[in-house]
Amino acid sequence: MKRPELIPAILTILVVAFFWKISPDFRDVNYLLANTTIFAETGLLAIGLTLIIISGNIDLSVGSSLVLTSCLVAKFTNDGTPIFVSVLMALIIGTLLGTINGLLITVGKLPSFLVTLATMALYRGAAQAMMGPASAKVPQPLKGIDRSDFHGLPYPFIIFVICALIVGLILHRMILGRWLFGIGTNKEAAHYTGFPVNRATISAFAITGFLIGISALLMDSRLGVARHDLAKGIELDAITIVVAGGTAIAGGKGTMIGTVLSWLLIYFVKTGMGVNNLKAEYQLTIIGIILVLSVFSQQIADRFSTNRQRKTTKIEAR
Amino acid sequence: MKGKREIGLLVVLVVLIAACSFAKPIFLDPRNINSILLWMPLLLVAAVGQFPVIVARGIDISTGSIVGLSAISVGLLVKASPTIPVPMLFIAGGMVGLILGCLNGLIIAFGKVPAVVATIGTLTAFRGLTFVVSKGDQIDSTAIPQSLTSLANQGINIGNVTISWLLFIGFVLAILAFFASNRLQFYRNIFAFGSNPDAAFLRGISPKTVELICYCASGSLAGVAGTMYLARFGFANPGSAGQGFELIVIAAVAIGGVKITGGSGSIVGVFLGCALLSCINVALTVLGIDADWQLLVYGATILIALIIDSVSQRRKATA
């Protein structure tokens, strides 16, 4: 299908229309905006994962990197590191963790699924070894970004949109993006074309790490504490967003706008179910079904469009 | 090159046991060996199920939720009619798993949804279903009959070491899978499909049948593991039963030398992978490593196993 992001776009409109009709609480635009602060963190991970999945890899360790970074930052700021330095440090640590993944995959020639499965345990394990059962308080000046806004737009939401824009430009308008699409389509061919396969793959992981750093700062700031057992399962949420947005899990296909739209879709579904007091357990089931259905409908649309293409070529051949 | 990987694993396992028992002689204490052996059956059964799926180029991430849903369903069944015979409980668990696995298989084989995506989706969906079925309530230990829990703490005694009935069931299933993988034509088809799906198709192997049956097998064995969970722990919580278990299972299979991209691997390797992970887990406790460090060591072990594997394969390629 030429425009895979159409499906989340249509679904988002349907979902918004549905909840707008059935629940008056959903019609509060201020509430809808304020609620984005929680989802911005997952959204940032999804932006990075879009690059990684397009390049034909996967990163299961994003949640663990997020936790390790947030714990380290909270700890450093508590020990008296100036805010400016610890913000910088969050970005550096996040990028470093991503780069380690990228190096293991490219230089170590290991499958990304297994490497990140291992670092998923390793990074969270490091956070647990460092923190123990305790939680680190985040000092005052770093706290409360979720409650501050710019003309009604919460800052986490603005940060999410800016990051999506920049990474979207990298993906669709810059050479790195072309490399990633090439690698995801056919790694061998990309190599023989002269694409720097290793460098591009490591870059994708490093960019994701950088976004994880931002996400960790947002999470620290919103929660006011850092613990080793936070954000469990967030990697699956992020992968759900990316894949429901039309990015092919096998690589080589996808768009940033699809990820953003699918983020909106999941966000509206979750918020709508929340304001309608749907039990958390039903919410889980519904999110799982959405993921499978959206990929399924893309497959059907794909088959439909290839059939049509075949027909037209047949006619031309005649 | 067949068999080298298994020998390497065996060496690692022996070295680990020797090192641990040298550092802490208590490691070879019967009670400690029993606790290693208690760790194994669940992992072994689920890993034997995961094995054909990974050989056929797929992956089943929903294993943990299937274990949870099956444990809860069997718990509810036993709560409703406590006199039900124990073998029936295993069959019930297997049936629950079979239905869920079949659903996975249908989505993947006929819906053409990539396995990673489909099973991540069903991982969430089945976990949600666990809460729906149990109405959020835990199955308490008072509801579980003695006849089921005794499977975990009674068994065949060899000296002071107990091979629990659970482990016995696990061994039997693993041995059956071993013979199946060596003798059954269908199992050969799975390997053929995993090494080259196109070639397998041209040879007349139906990819849909292969995939469907692999996921059904994985689901039903995970379901049996769910009943084992109930026997081993004596309670089941809809939130925590089997949570995160899928990653341990996949790690065990990967350490056991099954190629994650499909087409090669052996049940013996899977067995050794499970044994190694169980030993590591118990060794951490015995060596007095703080519980907070366990996840770190665990992750590092998997990573080191991967790196050793990649280095040895590259050496093979250059030789």
- Does B127 touch chain A if contact means CB atoms closer than 8 Å? yes
Mention every residue, 6+ apart, whose C-beta is less than 8 A from residue B273: B9, B47, B251, B252, B253, B254, B255, B256, B257
CA distances from A25 to A11, A17, A30 (A): 20, 13, 11
Q: Where are the domains of chain B?
A: 4-290
Please answer yes or no on whether B125 and A295 come within 8 Å at the CB atom: no
- State how far residue A289 is from chain B, nearest Cα, in angstroms: 6
User: How would you classify the pairing of strands A225-226 and A136-137?
Assistant: antiparallel
| Chain B CB contacts of A279 below 8 Å | 131, 136
Please name the amino acid found at residue B220.
Answer: S
Q: What Rg value do the Cα atoms of chain A yield, rounded?
A: 20
- State how far residue B69 is from chain A, nearest Cα, in angstroms: 13
- State how far residue B126 is from chain A, nearest Cα, in angstroms: 7
| Chain A CB contacts of B296 below 8 Å | 121-122, 125-126, 128-129
Predicted confidence (pLDDT) per residue in A120-160, tens digit: 889 999 998 888 888 888 887 777 777 777 787 888 999 99
How many residues can be counted in chain A?
318
Domain count, chain A: 1
For A228, the closest chain B residue by CA position comes to: B292
Please answer yes or no on whether A120 and B299 come within 8 Å at the CB atom: yes
C-alpha dihedral sign at B225, B227, B231, B237: positive
Burial level of A148, CB count in 10 A (0-12/13-18/19+)?
exposed
Give the pLDDT confidence score for residue A2 in this predicted structure: 65
Please answer yes or no on whether B125 and A284 come within 8 Å at the CB atom: yes
Q: Which CATH number, 2.40.128, 1.10.3470, 1.25.10, 3.30.1360, labels domain B4-290?
A: 1.10.3470
- Does B198 touch chain A if contact means CB atoms closer than 8 Å? no
Please answer yes or no on whether B121 and A286 come within 8 Å at the CB atom: no
- State how far residue B98 is from chain A, nearest Cα, in angstroms: 19
For A282, the closest chain B residue by CA position comes to: B128
Q: Quick one: which of A216, A208, A43 has its CA closest to A138?
A: A216
Q: Quick one: which of B67, B264, B98 has its CA closest to B75?
A: B67
Tokens of A136: 């680190």
Predicted confidence (pLDDT) per residue in A207-262, tens digit: 999 999 999 999 998 888 888 888 877 888 898 899 888 888 888 889 999 999 99
- State how far residue B304 is from chain A, nearest Cα, in angstroms: 9
- What is the count of residue pairs from A and B with beta carbons less than 8 Å apart? 146
C-alpha dihedral sign at A95, A96, A98, A99: positive
| Chain A CB contacts of B302 below 8 Å | 114, 117-118, 121
Mention every residue, 6+ apart, whose C-beta is less than 8 A from residue A158: A150
Give the pLDDT confidence score for residue A315 in this predicted structure: 52
How many residues can be counted in chain B?
319
Given a contact cutoff of 8 angstroms between Cβ atoms, the answer to whether A20 and A142 are in contact is no
Please answer yes or no on whether B121 and A125 come within 8 Å at the CB atom: no
Q: What is the mean pLDDT of chain B?
A: 85
Q: What Rg value do the Cα atoms of chain B yield, rounded?
A: 20
| pLDDT band at residue A176 under the 50/70/90 scheme | very high
The answer to whether position A119 is within a domain reads: yes
Give the pLDDT confidence score for residue A47 in this predicted structure: 95
Predicted confidence (pLDDT) per residue in A37-85, tens digit: 888 999 999 999 999 999 999 998 999 999 999 999 998 888 878 888 8
User: How would you classify the pairing of strands B155-158 and A136-137?
Assistant: unpaired
Please answer yes or no on whether B120 and A126 come within 8 Å at the CB atom: no
| Chain B CB contacts of A113 below 8 Å | 59, 116, 260
| pLDDT band at residue A165 under the 50/70/90 scheme | very high
Given a contact cutoff of 8 angstroms between Cβ atoms, the answer to whether B223 and B66 are in contact is yes
Maximal CA-CA distance, chain B: 63
Give the pLDDT confidence score for residue B1 in this predicted structure: 42
Q: What is the mean pLDDT of chain A?
A: 86
In this prediction, the residues of chain B whose per-residue pLDDT falls under 70 are 1-3, 309, 316-319
| pLDDT band at residue A318 under the 50/70/90 scheme | very low
Give the pLDDT confidence score for residue A137 in this predicted structure: 84
| Chain A CB contacts of B250 below 8 Å | 117
Q: Which residue has the tokens 């069959």?
A: B91
Mention every residue, 6+ apart, whose C-beta is less than 8 A from residue B118: A292, A295, B104, B107, B108, B111
Query: What are the beta bridge partners of residue A45?
Result: none
Give the pLDDT confidence score for residue B318 in this predicted structure: 64
Point out the residue among B111, B117, B132 whose CB comes nearest to the CB of A249: B117
Element of type H or E holding B2? none
Query: What gap in Å lies between CA A165 and CA A171, rounded to an integer?
Result: 10
| Chain B CB contacts of A236 below 8 Å | 120, 123-124
| Chain B CB contacts of A115 below 8 Å | 303, 306
> Could you tell me the residue range of the domain that residue A249 belongs to?
36-255
> Torsion angle, CA of A244/A246/A248/A252, rounded to 10 degrees?
-150
Mention every residue, 6+ apart, whose C-beta is less than 8 A from residue B19: none
Helix (H, G, I), strand (E, B) or coil at B137: coil
Query: What gap in Å lies between CA B173 and CA B71, rounded to an integer?
Result: 19
Give the pLDDT confidence score for residue A311 in this predicted structure: 57
Distance of alpha carbon B177 from its chain centroid, rounded? 13
User: How would you classify the pairing of strands B155-158 and A225-226?
Assistant: unpaired
B13: left (phi over 0), alpha (psi -120 to 50) or beta: alpha
- Does B307 touch chain A if contact means CB atoms closer than 8 Å? yes
For residues A309-318, one letter each, b for 16 or more C-beta atoms within 10 angstroms of the residue's C-beta and e for the rest, the string is: eeeeeeeeee
C-beta neighbour count of A127 within 10 angstroms:
27
- State how far residue B202 is from chain A, nearest Cα, in angstroms: 22
Please answer yes or no on whether A291 and B120 come within 8 Å at the CB atom: yes
Q: Which residue has the tokens 């694409």?
A: A195
- State how far residue A149 is from chain B, nearest Cα, in angstroms: 33
| Chain B CB contacts of A240 below 8 Å | 120-121, 124
- Does B69 touch chain A if contact means CB atoms closer than 8 Å? no
Give the pLDDT confidence score for residue B243 in this predicted structure: 81
For B311, the closest chain A residue by CA position comes to: A108
Please answer yes or no on whether A125 and B123 come within 8 Å at the CB atom: no
Element of type H or E holding B24? none
Please answer yes or no on whether A296 and B136 come within 8 Å at the CB atom: no
Given a contact cutoff of 8 angstroms between Cβ atoms, the answer to whether B226 and B96 are in contact is yes
Question: Three-class SS string for chain A?
Answer: CCCCCHHHHHHHHHHHHHHHHHCHHHHCHHHHHHCHHHHHHHHHHHHHHHHHHHCCCCCCCHHHHHHHHHHHHHHHHHCCCCHHHHHHHHHHHHHHHHHHHHHHHHCCCCCHHHHHHHHHHHHHHHHHHHHCCCCEECCHHHCCHHHCEECCEEHHHHHHHHHHHHHHHHHHHCHHHHHHHHHHHCHHHHHHHCCCHHHHHHHHHHHHHHHHHHHHHHHHHHHCEECCCCCCCHHHHHHHHHHHCCCCCCCCCCCHHHHHHHHHHHHHHHHHHHHCCCCHHHHHHHHHHHHHHHHHHHHHHHHHHHHHHHHHHHHHHC
A139: left (phi over 0), alpha (psi -120 to 50) or beta: beta
Distance of alpha carbon A131 from its chain centroid, rounded? 26
Q: Quick one: which of B114, B78, B72 has its CA closest to B96?
A: B72
The answer to whether position A174 is within a domain reads: yes
Mention every residue, 6+ apart, whose C-beta is less than 8 A from residue B233: none
Q: Quick one: which of B312, B252, B316, B292 has its CA closest to B13?
A: B252
Please answer yes or no on whether A292 and B298 come within 8 Å at the CB atom: no
